Structures are given as C-alpha cells and as structure tokens.
Structure 1
Amino acid sequence: MEYSKIISVTGLGGLFELLSSKADGAIVRSLEDKSTRFVSSRVHNFSHLESIEIFTVRENVNLADVFLAMQKDAAPLPDEKDNAAVKKYFEAVYPDMDFERVYTSDMKKMVKWLGILTANNIEIKAPQPEEEETAEPETKPEAEAVEEAAPPKAAPKKTAAKKEETGKDEKEAKPAAKKKAAPKKTEAPKEEAAPKKKAAPKKKTKE
C-alpha cells in the first residue's frame, strides 16, 4: 500500500486508500475495518495526506515531515483524548509548530493517523521537489556541438577557393612556358644564315 494513495475524507473518521476515482466521487477502502465503499464528492471532500501542510513558526512543512519526526522520537504516542498531553507531546517532538494556528483537534488527528499508518505498515515518504533544470544540461551540450560543428562546414568553401586559385596559377603558368619556348624557334634561322657569307671569294677570281 502506497502512502501517495492514502486520503482523509471529511465527515468520516480514520484514513482510506483511494482505489479509483469517478466523476461524482471515489471508491475507497478503510484502513481500519478494510470495508470498501463509494464516497460522493458532492457530500465529502478528499485530501491526500502527501498534500497536507502544517503551520510552523517558519515556513509551512509537509505533514510527512511531522510524521517522520514523530517516528524518530522515542517517546510513545500520547492518548489522543487527552488534549493537554497531546499538546505537550508536540511541543517536545516538533517545537517549531505554530501552536496558535494548529489546533488541538488537528494534533489529535495526527496522533490517530500515525497510529493507523503504523498498524498498516505504510512507509511514510516526504514529497520530493520537482526538478525543473533536468532539461537544461542536455540542451547546452547540443548547442555547443552545433557551434563546434559549424566551422568544419565552412572549410570546404575555403578548399574550393584554393582549388580555383591553383587552377588560375596553372593557367597562367602554361602561357609562360610557351613564351620561353618561342626564342628557340628564332635561334635556328640565325645558324642557317651563317654559311651563305662564305661565297665572297668567287668574285675575286673573275678579275
């Protein structure tokens, strides 16, 4: 039996286990006589024990915190019919309780309820605070991963630019090689013209 399913019903003494909820009420089981019944929400109000808070001189505390303090204390539970004994018990066990706003009837209910929970071996659990920041650590690494991945995407553009520049250099280098080869063609005719000058002695023999 889970502590989160235990409720109190106005107009009915004791505690109940919530079995199922309906639009006009709920089916509950008594923790004392184990009887099952339908309780109309038009006549009664339901309160989960885990949602009940107790006034203190500081901030309000959950009812489970008071129950746990009562369990840790070695003093036996007082007689719930003795108002003075009940108040003295809580002054010793939970001195931070605001005794001006917490009535003796409320303290008597806490004594009775703890006795019922103990008899049914129900483990009392204080509600845990909601974790609102569980999603932020997950989104931060993803954002950083996107930022780190962005520069490599730009890298191919730089390499393409280098390829275009190297292509231009190759094109410019090819015409330069042709210009260097052009003087070789002009040097060949100069060597062939040199033997024609040796025909001059023939003119001297005619005189």
Structure 2
Amino acid sequence: MEYNRIIAITGLGGLFELLSSKSDGAIVKSLEDQQTRFVSSRVHNFSHLESIEVYTNRENINLVDLFKAIQDSGEALPQEKDASAVKAFFVKVYPDLDFDRIYNSDMKKMVKWYALLTAAGVELKLSNEGEEEAHEAAVEAVAEEATAEPAAEPAPKKAAKKKAAEASSEAPAADAPAADAPAPAPKKKAAKPAASGDEPAPAKKAAPKKK
C-alpha cells in the first residue's frame, strides 16, 4: 500500500486508502476495519497525509518525517488517552517540535495514525522521493563525466587531404576542352535546295549537223 494514497477525512476517525475519485466524492477503504464505502465530498473534506506539515521551532517538516523519527527512535507508543505520556513521547522522539502550536489532540491523532500505518504495512515514503533520488544520481553521473579527462582526438590525416587538394587542382574542368586536342574541322554547308516554286531551266538542243 502506497503512502501517497492514504487520506484523512474530516468527521471520520482513522485513516483511509483512496481507491477512486468521483466528481461528488470518493470510494475509500478504512485501514481499521478494511471496509469499503463511498464518502461524499459535499459533507466531508479529504486530506492526503503526504501534504500535511507539522510545526517545529525552525521550518515546518512533513508529517512523514515525524513518522520516520518515531520509527527510528524505537520508542514504544504511549497510550493515546494519556496526554502527558503522549507529550513526553514526542519530546523524546522529536524535541524540536513547536509544542506551543501543536495541540494534545493533534499529538494523540498522530500516535494513532502511526499505529494504523505500521499495522497496515504502509511504507513511509513520499511519492516524489524516488524521483529525487534518480535526479541526484543523474547529477552525480554528469559531474563525474565533466571531471574525467577527455579522450585524445585522432590526428587529422594531412597527407590524404594534401593529395586530394593536388588532384582537384590538376584535374581539368569538365566543360573546358583539352589544350592539346586538335580543333574540330568546320562543317561544310549543305547546298541550299531550290525553292519549291522554281523549275529547272530547259536544256538547249544541239544544232543539227550540215550535210
């Protein structure tokens, strides 16, 4: 079960897994009794746990950071109804909390929520933590490539370039005739044919011989 799907609903105790959303509400499943039901958004408000922050004497922290502190401390959870025991518990677990702005009812609620999350096997992890880790790894890889010595570039092949330049300068242009080639003989003009309207002159008859 993913932490980013866990929500709190005003007017309803405990925590719920968000199964699906609708225009007028959502279908949720209780982490306490595992019952599924529809909850109207017109009557109740929904709050994702990963969007909840907790007051401290410095900057606010995400609720999941407080849950991780409880997990890492190894302290046994106090009785929810014992207000003094609950406050003493958080003083040990996270002494930097701003206890002037955090009510006892809030601390009791956080103790109950932590117990429900651990019982349900929910991993205490924000949905964008995996993306941040991948981004940091990518940044480190880029930094390593930048500091690495660049590979030596191969020397340019000067001899090949020189031969290619000489060959291009010695070769005659494609359209220019060779210098030693003989000039082509001029073509004889063909006799102009007679016009179609002209008739050939009649041949003269030879004079008869005298006897």
Residues 32-68 of structure 1 show CA distances to partners (whole Å, capped at 9, x for unaligned) of 1222111111221111112222122222222111111
Which one of 161, 168, 174 corresponds to residue 164 of structure 1? Answer: 168
Query: Does residue 1:77 correspond to 2:80, yes or no?
Result: no
Q: Which residue of 2 aligns with 1:123?
A: 123
Query: Does residue 1:99 correspond to 2:103, yes or no?
Result: no
8 Å contact 1:20–1:27 — kept in the other structure? yes
Aligned AA for 2:78? P
Distance 1:5 1:79 in 2: 27
How do 1:1-207 and structure 2 match up within 5 A? 1-127=1-127, 128=129, 130-131=131-132, 162-167=166-171
Distance 1:159 1:117 in 2: 78
Which consecutive residues of structure 2, in runs of 5 or more, have no partner in the other structure? 147-152, 173-177, 181-211
Cα distance, 1:158 vs. partner? 9.1
| RMSD (CA atoms) | 3.4
Q: 1:22 to 1:160 in 2, by over 3 A?
A: farther
Q: 1:23 to 1:89 in 2, by over 3 A?
A: same
TM-score (norm 1): 0.63
Tell me the percent identity.
61
8 Å contact 2:25–2:41 — kept in the other structure? yes
Cα distance, 1:22 vs. partner? 0.8
Distance 2:162 2:21 in 1: 66
Cα distance, 1:102 vs. partner? 2.0
Instruction: Give the number of aligned pairs.
Output: 156
Q: 1:167 to 1:11 in 2, by over 3 A?
A: same
TM-score (norm 2): 0.62
Aligned AA for 1:117? L
Which secondary structure state, in structure 2, belongs to the residue aligned with residue 164 of structure 1?
helix
Distance 1:49 1:159 in 2: 74
Q: Which residue of 2 aligns with 1:185?
A: none
8 Å contact 2:4–2:126 — kept in the other structure? no
Aligned AA for 1:165? S
Higher helix share: 1
Residues 173-199 of structure 1 show CA distances to partners (whole Å, capped at 9, x for unaligned) of x97x9xxxxxxxxxxxxxxxxxxxxxx
